[in-house]
Structure 1
Amino acid sequence: MRYVDTVIIGAGAAGLMCAATAGQRGRQVLVVDHANKVGKKILMSGGGRCNFTNLQVTPAQYLSANPHFCISALKRYTQQDFIELVQRYQLAYHEKTLGQLFCDNRAKDVLEILLAECELGQVEIQTRCAVSRIRRVTDTDSPPELPETARFELLTSLGPVYCESLVIATGGPSIPTLGATGYGYEVACQFGLKVTELQAALVPFTLKGSWLTLAQSLAGVSMPVTIECRQQLFREALLFTHKGLSGPAALQISNYWYPGDALCINFLPDTDLETELRTWQQGGVKAELKTLLSRLLPKRFVTAWLALPELQQLEGRPVAELSRADINSLVQMFQNWSCVPAGTEGYKTAEVTRGGVCTDQLSSKTFEVKTQPGLFFIGEVLDVTGWLGGFNFQWAWSSGWCAGQYV
């Protein structure tokens, strides 16, 4: 049996940030994780280069049933605060697009900074440590050798541990091959907290039938698009795959998509296709439609799209022969294409989980459960989901740092 001030379950981005912050306050901190090593999502993120934050973080980039909850933490620990941290360690990084900051070298550089910060706080980290039970200690069953501050007992694979503050930083079930589970939600339910509806997010879409066949024929083709669902629009790259639709555009809009929703895609976001077609007609251009459209879009895509039943009668036509109805059909299919995905690839490839522990039950200042003194939830396990582009890591840093001030 042992006692520490603070136990943090989960050695990911939020858990390590919280541990370092609390440890440097002088708290005795123990981090436990059932996985064989820490920071697995950090290591695989951003293609191995970790998109660790974004220059343009605001509450508008986060989804939650309680949209005001994230405001306080994002203001108190900003993206600039984390940038200053990595600059102290002379991390080499660059802005890719849309404010996204990536390591120049490897994601492990970010993890090593977090571990160095934990070492400064004398944080103890135990991997391969499973927690089988958590219970609140009462006055009647507290071992006499425990300090009065003990609130929780954890039965772990390394023995019983008692603590004053317990932090759940377990994330969600996305990418289970990295050891992700829904354990944090089980703990929430045990202590009477509500968990909102959960769904895989920042995840590719699957298609079926003729649309799947089409996507498979175009696998590997990528292009800039605008994509819209539920009045939310993103301008990013779309990638066709052997399963359906991926790329940043698909992942971004998946945060807002629910089964049965249609996606509306404009494959020519910088072009007014109707005006372009009429300009070609008025200029006496004699080339075939396919040839001219291939100046604007990948040739494989144009060939496949013009072979669709709605357009196949136009495939070999000179642009000069197009009627008003023909032009309307082309505009509809190239700039206002709509499809209903069969679903998503699910948690196995999802970068995050949408939904989570209901934030109405937590303090937005401390991340402590209002009805359970000493119990804290941080990071992805909460009902706060960020856009693609470093926003979820920033939420981990912000929530972890803020809770670290109080645990």
Structure 2
Amino acid sequence: ALLTEAKKCGSLTVLDVDVSPSVCFNEALLGNEEELLRCVELADVLKPTRHAAQDLLALLLKSRTGVSPPSKELASLSSLELAKRLQEVTGATLVALTAGSDGCAVVGAGGKSVAVPACSIPQAVDATGAGDAFLGGTIAAIVKNSGQLPKTESELVDLALLANAAGAACCEVLGGLPTPSSSARVEELVQTSRASLPLHLRGGASQSFAVGGEGFAASMQKDVATLQALVASYSGKEQQAAVEAFVQRLRQSPPGRVFATGIGKSGVVARRLAASLTSTGTPCQFVHASEWAHGDLGATVDGDVGSVVVALSHSGSTAEVLRACQLLRERGSDIVAITGKAGSPLEALATACLSYQLPSEAEEPLGGAPTCSIVAMEALTNAVLHELITHSHFTQAQFKVNHPGGALGEVL
């Protein structure tokens, strides 16, 4: 009756099938088959345990066909396959199946699905209430998603991680009762569990339970978020054209006429870029941004329009870099830039520019200590390097000539 009234009000309905139907009807005296099937029919969200899901699916198939499927057949299904079959038969919008130490399987709208391993905890003290905690985590994830059921793989992962973490945190205390530190512990488990997922599943939303804190694992999560945002930002035609213009300008420069410059941590990235370009077929010289005005302008030929200088600056407004680029342009050199601010003064001085923007969840520590910005900058320089190698048809044999030393030289 409660589910019926909730449906009439347009409320989201959730059904926790924690024990097998046969136990419900017999030992627990919790109703009959007809009542259970009606409850399942009314549920938007089903949260069964694995053993309950097998029995429920068998019951549903028998009620429709008159024939019970072989128990071995259902037992042989993976948790994800079982959850998918249950969603197909029940029509539930979301099925979140728990499998104990094997984690959970979640199937959402449109057949999107994920299987997420259980959280790793030092010791399981008491499993009392773990299933209820998992259900609470499931509902909490829906609330955090503005009350909407997950529609994307990323949202399904967020839900599964939070539900798993809630269940795991429950197992770490006696009696299944929350403690003052429970909320923080759940967030910690979410973060560590996300870090262990395959890369394509680590995205997630930018809520506090997805990425937060300033610790070791949180830092790596921010780096992952930075790279994912960078990849997404270069998927459009305009960005691809910018890459092509950047690479093409480097390819057009005569040998020995490519330079890299920057200051601070951007200068460190520029120095590494120069070394990598030089070893892979594009000779490049690093010049510290502050040294151009102290004699190193002589490295370029006045009026030589062939020279290209790759200028790196996260802010795009570093005084020494801007001054150097202005002087270099006056001597006829072209500037191509990599910066963390689109529309910056540095971009205005450049003939081609690659920019990046850090996602909100990749806030750098101490008000801006270079961390995620360096990850983004290094990723862009690596991508440019790959493009140049591909277009120039630089071979491994040529690379070996340039790099005969060290362990790499022996392998080559």
* Shared fold (TM-score, shorter chain, > 0.5): no
Q: Could you say which structure has the greater relative contact order, defined with CA pairs below 8 angstroms and 6 or more residues apart?
A: 1
Richer in strand (by share): 1
Q: TM-score scaled by structure 2?
A: 0.23
